[in-house]
Amino acid sequence: MDSRPTVAVLGAGWSGLSAAVRLVEGGCRVILLEKRAVPGGRALSYTDNDSGDALDNGPHIFLGCYSGTIRFLDAIGAGARLRFSRRLRLAFIDRERGAFQFRCPSLPSPWNLLAGLLGLRGLDLPDRFRALRLGAWARRLTESDLQRLESSTLETWLAKAGQTPAIRRVIWDPIAMAALNEDPAVASAAVFARVFREAFLSGGPSGIGLSAFGLSDLYAGPALRFLEKNGCEVRFRSGVSRILIGPGGVDGLQLGDGTRIAADAYLSTLPPRDLQAALPRTTFHSDPYFRRIASLETSPVVSIHLWYDRKFLEEPFVGLLGTRTQWLFDRRAILGSEGEGSGLSAVISAARSYIDWPASDIIAMAEEDIAACVPAARRARLLRAKVVKERHATFSPRAGSSRLRPGPRTPIPNLILGGDWTDTGLPGCIEGAVRSGERAAAEVGRFVLEDRTVE
């Protein structure tokens, strides 16, 4: 008889896959349940039939401080699929002032940041020093300072730290919008400060990582192969319609087709609204642990995949300033794929104002923004474009949202939570998803040990 504890993992995104890998490595029997036909959740890719290009649901960038993500990719044999720049270098094109770079030399942090900000051509000298002050300030923050900052918006904090509109426009707002997927007017200063410290001030690597593969081939495929090789039972098109609660905890799961799954522990990485739909109403509403989750809001991302008749972008990705489109990626250059013309992807984070626009208007806006920033694009012809709207791309890390984010242990003893929206301290990002998955797996380990000790 198999004496290993059985764990059901709900959801096969970054969080569920990393949790399942940890559990399998820890000697558990794992059943991974995913409602879709493929793994990847909010970070996946597919092949575009017309061009043969690998298209991600939206361009994803990785930071050098994504230690959990790198460890996870190494564990599934996919570490080499992610390429990090040795130094932090961000290229910008300002619609009014042209191109400039934020380039940090390869010095240990925070010296690299110091040199990068001092050399930032998009700002005058007094503003470069003011920007440096924010770095010094952020570096000194203690955990209790960060907790106090939870209820402050990033905009308020930046104003208090003497950051002028010019500094915000050139550096903090583009970084914040990309990292937090939220407008600095509502985003939590604490979440920004945590990312800023981890990414730029921790002394660790601060380069930017881009995947040399479509997202599904970067991690979802390799994770699946690892799991199946190690005896994990993976079931697609297996949406959990009910988490069945009994007097002692979760009794089992009911799938959409009526099948029942029983396990010793249940690790959910479902996004908040899916978790709420699967739990009994009384359970969800009777306990403040669950109830507060319902108040977490989400923030959309709009991505626009564009095919032009010629190449004109000189960087793998650039930040666009003074435009509604925020970042532009040269998809084909990043993937190293061949093809006539160019294959680009544009991104708008915190895209509430555009999410309900018709695709044709979004495409026209992106085309206009690109032409305004890149003169060579004005001679190029747009052949085709595709809009991907992710209405619930991430939770909204707005000021005060940290109290709505639960830890991994729920009031139900054998139900443990992961997912990028749980209380990792990070915004909704891959690293948060992976860390939450690994933390939840460790909690399952503790629960199983406690449970067996009681027996």
* x-marked contacts with ligand FAD along 403-442 as a string, rule CB under 6 A: ----------------xx-------xxxx-x---------
Q: Are 435 and 68 in contact (CB under 8 A)?
A: yes
Stretch that binds ligand FAD, among 53-61, 151-159, 328-336, 350-358 (CB under 6 A): 53-61
Smallest distance from ligand FAD to CB 390, Å = 4
At position 97, the amino acid (one-letter code) is: R
Q: Are 304 and 346 in contact (CB under 8 A)?
A: yes
Nearer to ligand FAD, 146 or 301 (CB): 301
Nearest Cα residue to 327 out of 192, 117, 176: 176
Residue 428 in tokens: 């909704």
- Give the one residue of 109, 153, 211, 303 binding ligand FAD; rule: CB under 6 A: 303
Smallest distance from ligand FAD to CB 407, Å = 15
Residue 30 in tokens: 């794992």
Q: Are 18 and 433 in contact (CB under 8 A)?
A: yes
444 binds ligand FAD (CB under 6 A): no
b/e code 266-305 from CB counts within 10 Å (16+ = b): bbbbbbbebbbebbeeebbeeeeebeebeebebbbbbbbb
CA dist 400 and 382 (Å) reads 43
Residue 15 in tokens: 């969080």
Site for ligand FAD in 262-301 (CB under 6 A): 269-271, 274, 278, 301
Tracing tokens 């929206």 back to the chain, one arrives at 421
12 binds ligand FAD (CB under 6 A): yes
From the CB of residue 82, how many other CB atoms can be counted at a distance below 10 Å?
A: 19
208 binds ligand FAD (CB under 6 A): no
78 binds ligand FAD (CB under 6 A): no
Site for ligand FAD in 30-49 (CB under 6 A): 33-36, 41-43
| Nearby residues of 193 by Cβ (< 8 Å), 6 or more positions away | 138, 141, 146, 149, 157
Determine the residue with CB nearest ligand FAD: 41
Stretch that binds ligand FAD, among 54-62, 85-93, 244-252, 280-288 (CB under 6 A): 54-62
362 binds ligand FAD (CB under 6 A): no
Site for ligand FAD in 130-169 (CB under 6 A): none
184 binds ligand FAD (CB under 6 A): no
Nearer to ligand FAD, 36 or 81 (CB): 36
60 binds ligand FAD (CB under 6 A): yes
CA dist 389 and 124 (Å) reads 37
| Nearby residues of 416 by Cβ (< 8 Å), 6 or more positions away | 265, 266, 267, 268, 408, 409, 410, 440, 443, 444, 447
Site for ligand FAD in 213-252 (CB under 6 A): 239-240
Smallest distance from ligand FAD to CB 184, Å = 18
With contacts defined by CB under 6 A, how many residues of the chain interact with ligand FAD? 37
Q: Which helix (H) or strand (E) holds 368?
A: helix 359-373
CA dihedral sign, ordered 161, 162, 167, 168 = positive
Nearer to ligand FAD, 208 or 380 (CB): 208
319 binds ligand FAD (CB under 6 A): no
- Give the one residue of 9, 14, 188, 224 binding ligand FAD; rule: CB under 6 A: 14
- Give the one residue of 183, 198, 390, 438 binding ligand FAD; rule: CB under 6 A: 390
Smallest distance from ligand FAD to CB 14, Å = 4
Strand order in the sheet with 342-348: 98-103, 89-94, 317-321, 327-330, 342-348, 298-308, 382-395
Smallest distance from ligand FAD to CB 323, Å = 18
Nearer to ligand FAD, 34 or 53 (CB): 34
From the CB of residue 219, how many other CB atoms can be counted at a distance below 10 Å?
A: 28
- Give me the residues that bind ligand FAD (CB under 6 A), please: 10-16, 33-36, 41-43, 57-58, 60-61, 239-240, 269-271, 274, 278, 301, 303, 390, 393-394, 419-420, 428-431, 433
